Chain A
Amino acid sequence: MGLDVKKIKSDFPILAREIRNGIPLVYLDSAATSQKPQVVIDAMTKYYQFSNANIHRGVHTLAEEATGMYEDVRKKVANFINAKSEKEIIYTRNTTESINLVAQTWGKTNLEEGDIIVLTEMEHHSNLVPWQMLAAEKHLNLEFVTVTDDGLLNLQVYKELLEKSPKLVSFTHMSNVLGTINPVKEMINLAHQAGALTMIDGAQSVPHFPVDVRDLDADFYAFSAHKMLGPTGFGILYGKEKLLDAMPPFMGGGDMIKKVLLRSFKPNDLPHKFEAGTPAIAEAVGLGAAIDYLQALGMDNIALHEHELTNYAFQKLSEIENLIIFGKNNNRGGVIAFELGIIHPHDVAQILDRHGIAIRAGHHCAMPLHEKFGIPATSRASFYLYNSYEDVDRLVEGINIASDLFG
């Protein structure tokens, strides 16, 4: 079923604003963060207006309501990615924190000097730096799956690295620069055959197409609420129950304990073991509303819309003289990074902004990938369910204006 983009746009108040007098916004930066529909904003406001209280252990009505709302979202998230149980859904601040959690708990406990972690050249800094930090501390070896000129992972290199018996393989489901959707299921299967666990960065995938963690057989899977119509400051770590159960806690504090003595504590059961302190309750509620909104439209329909829109954009952009798209493969999501002749990406982004079009310019937190392609920065347009064909046309118009200006 095709999406009614006009109707969807009207659900997002920010998309109706003008950037300057008479210049409406075209938002093409959803890979950085998505916009929020009114229902998400309302859900969070209502929570603060009517139900605000600290969760767990409260006896009064508000505390019970708040706890119920907070924990209902966990079931919703579990259902959304088809986890076996809500015990496998750990609330964090974002994808980055989810990955750090695995590095600092599972990694610290299970890895020893000389152990290998396999990453890829297309990782976001959030899936590089936590492992670099751990590797420095525990003297681990990091190995990298290379990226082909077409922006795909080199599976031959991957297979060779697996022969070195790594303990963990961690990679992105979808590149935030190239848009490449990696063959995650196949790669997880290969990793398991080699005896490695798998951690998947799902920041760019969960918002855009159906993800079934059990079908993929992922051991750990991380994503952020703010890229899927929800609020900032809220993320998810999925982990298989038996792995999470065996891991030590992450941060210490209230809520993550069962019992505390002056000199010792007993950690709480899953999932609370990993959630210290008062969490982002309103943000959890916001994510719940975002999931409802996405599910009402249908993730398959969203994926199809973005696929068609990206194909259209790819074709239109390819026709522009001096424009080079990075990652020319068909297995891609709604992210297009490009270079425009001699024009620096910051200038491209600024000229587009003057026409109301929001794109991103820079290294997109993937400096090693840019280095590989021999460029310090790219311009990146990214699409979501609220983007229309007209938005792509406005982008093309804006790029042509930039080309003429520097022509």
Chain B
Amino acid sequence: MYALPPGSVPAIVRIVELHFDVLVVGGGIAGCAAALAASAAGRRVGLVRAAPGATALSAGGWTGPLPDRLGAALARAGLPFAPAPAPLPHPAGRLDAHDLAAPSQRAAAPIEDALVCGIVGLAGFPARALARAWGARGAGPAGAATLEAGPVPRGGWSPASLAAYLEREPARLAEALADAVRRASAARAVLPAVLGVERVDDVRAALEAAAGVPVGEALGAPPSLPGWRLERALATALDEAGVTVLPGRVVDRAMEARRVSAVWVRPAPASGAAAEAVAGPPPVESVQIAARSFVLATGKYLAGGIRADDRLLEPALGCPVWIEYLGAMFDEADPLALTHPDHAAEQPLLRAGVRTDDAGRPVDRRGDVVYENVRVAGSVRAGVDAAAPGLGHAAADGWRAGELAAEDA
């Protein structure tokens, strides 16, 4: 039923045994919420994560519910989400309605009285065109300007390098912004989401002090700095809650009766010297981690929680994955049958995932529970479209799975 993915067989197996009450597999918003919930219930929690996934690519808005204690933890980590006063401007030229938003995105709405500011040398944020697109529905922004942030590098700014530069040198942009806001007599300024990699509050404070009006960021497109800040805030929250985070990928699992007793984790390479980088990674060792209950929150295709190479596969725990569509059962990712040319239409392939019972435990085709001590949360579940925004739905799902897993442990 389940085979190790090729290349993942450990060359040297060194058994390092770790024990937890609850082990969460996956470190996106669902996995982090589950870990925080189980930790709040007083359990010893570990979290295995391969890499940042779709959560780190989120745009800075929040759709769906925010569990109270998760919101409090994010606020303590410096990222308080609060209701968005109006639809938020997206650099693709549309206004996105979100329930909540991070402070710097919240300050960008409403767009009607704002000055839209591009930055010289930064591609992907044409201020004049965006001001027209965002104003198409309503009164329209107060105007558009393109500001100088500093000496433009030879290849232009990328969002990340501009953000890193602004954390050091916000003065020149602040001066240009103050001048532009005064001339346009705007009530707020909207800039691209590049106001600092993580110290966005400092950069915004410097700009607001100079301009005298609220300064906000548009939503982020990948590589999204708002998504990265959420990622860092979640890491801080996990650390504060005493959750042990292990970078690595689950490659196999051990079973007792119908329960998972332990998983094998291939740790991520921590660092390497130049010579090692040329020669390739050293032989892989595996770590065995035992726990009383597990939460599976590995995400979908981007994060590797569901794979559709040959057959549909859930590689971490080997849960059954299949698609039911128009009365037929699909084991394989047949793109002709399972996708629709109209991207807004239903896309069954994007909804593939692990099916669960009412308590979030994985089930097979007969509806029998596969693992009694595993709860499934987030976009690895069937029926959740990984392309649809909805951090809040994943977070609420993960929080509930974490509470149930804590009861199991």
- Do A and B originate from a single complex? no
Q: Which residues of chain A have a CB within 8 Å of any CB of chain B?
A: none
| B residues at A contact (CB < 8 Å) | none
